[in-house]
Amino acid sequence: MVFTSLEFLTLFLPLVLLIYVLSPTQWRNGVLLIGSWVFFGWLSPMFMLLHTVLTVITWVGGLLIDRAPLGSKSRVRWLTAMIVLNVLVLCWYKYSNILAATLSELLISQGAMPLEWQKVALPAGLSFIVLQAISYLVDVYRQTVKVERSFVDYATYLLMFGQSIAGPIIRYSWVSEELSHRGLSWGNFSLGARRFMIGMSMKVLVADSLSPVVDAAFALPEPSFVDAWVGCLAYSLQLFFDFAGYSAMAIGIGLMLGFHFPENFNRPYLASSIQDFWRRWHLSLSSWIRDYLYIPFGGNRGSKWMIYRNLLLTMAIAGLWHGGDSWNFLLWGTAHGVALCVARIWAGAGWFRIPTALSHVLTLLFVALAWTLFRAPDFATAMTMYAGQFGLNAFALGDALAATLRPTHAIAALLGVFCVVAPIYQQRFENRYGHHALFVVLGSAWPVLGFLLSFALIASRETVPFLYFQF
């Protein structure tokens, strides 16, 4: 069950919201927790069991860290044990398959029999739940938050179905007050419903419509220049509208429930540098990486080489966190780390300043090329796509991809590009037409129209999972 499935839209979400609204204030966390257990149990009972066990352990771990005296070794040991446990659980479910596959390839290359291995399924939401648990434990250790003594409140924070599958990555300090004191208002509910409908339109109308083009392009044995770039640019739009669409839906659900989650994207494809891109893309992850990896590693302290090391190590870990099916994710993160180092060296050396327009183009070019590595199922496929992108094959659009393309794909791509470019003129347009009656009506009507069209498409085809559903 995902946000864009009929069972979620017509059964689960309306029923949970109805029970939640009718429940007394002091019962609402319990209702939300039970609903989250049902949500994960619907996906898989084993997912629900694992998440519940991890929740109990980390809740107890937080209590033990808080109980240990400040500055004591026992306090450090409890924190270390809890972090190691969370990391080991994540590594087992996320990386055991690729490690087993790599070992099998090594054995075969040496003439031995491959390793017998039964693939381990990655529980939905585990990557995000682990990061939230670690941030909570570290913050309790640092005394930047008070330990949560109510298991129901802590479990509600960690397992909330609205955002635990694919973010935003919520820190306990952001919602601690609302866990115990939050109200419901028609204004917030309406705003949340609007954000939910916009996110659903982003996912279904743009991301899902471009999905067949991306799949076809990345399956070509020898993509042409046009084939490779059509696939790459389509994936750049698909990934953004899929992930940002989920975040918008999660933020919308949070508002309907009385929570205020932070924005997770800030027009990333308008970035003018690689540093600017990471200040706009997946904001909750970027800030998590900064506060719980980069700064503890040393951050900007120390020599220049130590700073470059911290950047590379942090981004490599961030890349590895994104997926365990391929080493491409590690390479993708490392590539971004190298780009950040190069940008820092360039700025520090005082070389000529790149014009803003050119810097914007170069940033998008690098990001798109890196997305090729991110999307390709293996390194060989990535190299095949790069061969096409750098003109090593034919130039014109190939017959295979041409047979896949439909007018709806062009409409989805144009809609996506419009949504990316429109923010440049948004403020100017609102200042000029914001109070016009037609503008007000259209601003209120288009999310509903997008939702209805999206719902019709969902009802007419199989559910398309979110790309980050099992990252």
pLDDT tens for residues 326-343?
889 999 999 999 999 999
In a domain, 322, yes or no: yes
User: 375 and 401: one domain?
Assistant: yes
As given in the structure block, the two tokens for residue 469 are 């559903």
Query: Could you tell me if 239 and 166 are in contact, meaning their C-beta atoms sit under 8 angstroms apart?
Result: no
User: 169 and 242: one domain?
Assistant: no
Query: Could you tell me if 367 and 179 are in contact, meaning their C-beta atoms sit under 8 angstroms apart?
Result: no
User: 95 and 204: one domain?
Assistant: no
In a domain, 470, yes or no: no
Domain around 42: 6-182
140-187 pLDDT, tens digit per residue, is 999 999 999 999 999 999 999 878 777 799 999 999 999 988 888 888
Distance of CA 380 to the CA centre of its chain: 25
As given in the structure block, the two tokens for residue 457 are 């498409």
In a domain, 326, yes or no: yes
Mean pLDDT along residues 371-375: 94
Count up the domains in the chain and report the number.
Answer: 2
**Where among 151, 182, 213 does a domain terminate?**
182
Helix locations, 10-116, DSSP H: 13-22, 28-43, 45-67, 73-109
Binned at pLDDT 50, 70 and 90, residue 430 comes out as: low
DSSP-derived letter for residue 112 is P
Query: Could you tell me if 124 and 43 are in contact, meaning their C-beta atoms sit under 8 angstroms apart?
Result: yes
User: 388 and 403: one domain?
Assistant: yes
Q: What angle separates helix 225-257 from helix 407-421, to the nearest 10 degrees?
A: 60
User: 356 and 372: one domain?
Assistant: yes
In a domain, 466, yes or no: no
Q: Count other C-beta atoms under 10 Å from residue 451's C-beta.
A: 21
Enter the pTM of the model.
Answer: 0.90
Among this protein's residues, is 322 annotated catalytic?
yes
What is d(CA 333, CA 326) in angstroms, rounded to the nearest whole number?
A: 12
In a domain, 469, yes or no: no
User: 40 and 176: one domain?
Assistant: yes
User: 295 and 359: one domain?
Assistant: yes
**Where among 128, 162, 182 does a domain terminate?**
182
User: 171 and 271: one domain?
Assistant: no
Q: Which of 322, 336, 409, 436 is catalytic?
A: 322
What average pLDDT does the chain have? Answer: 88
Share of the chain above pLDDT 90, in %: 53
215-274 pLDDT, tens digit per residue, is 999 999 999 999 999 999 999 999 999 999 999 999 999 999 999 999 999 999 999 999
User: 48 and 149: one domain?
Assistant: yes
User: 341 and 398: one domain?
Assistant: yes
**Where among 182, 207, 233 does a domain terminate?**
182
Which pLDDT does position 425 carry in this prediction? 66
What is d(CA 170, CA 172) in angstroms, rounded to the nearest whole number?
A: 6
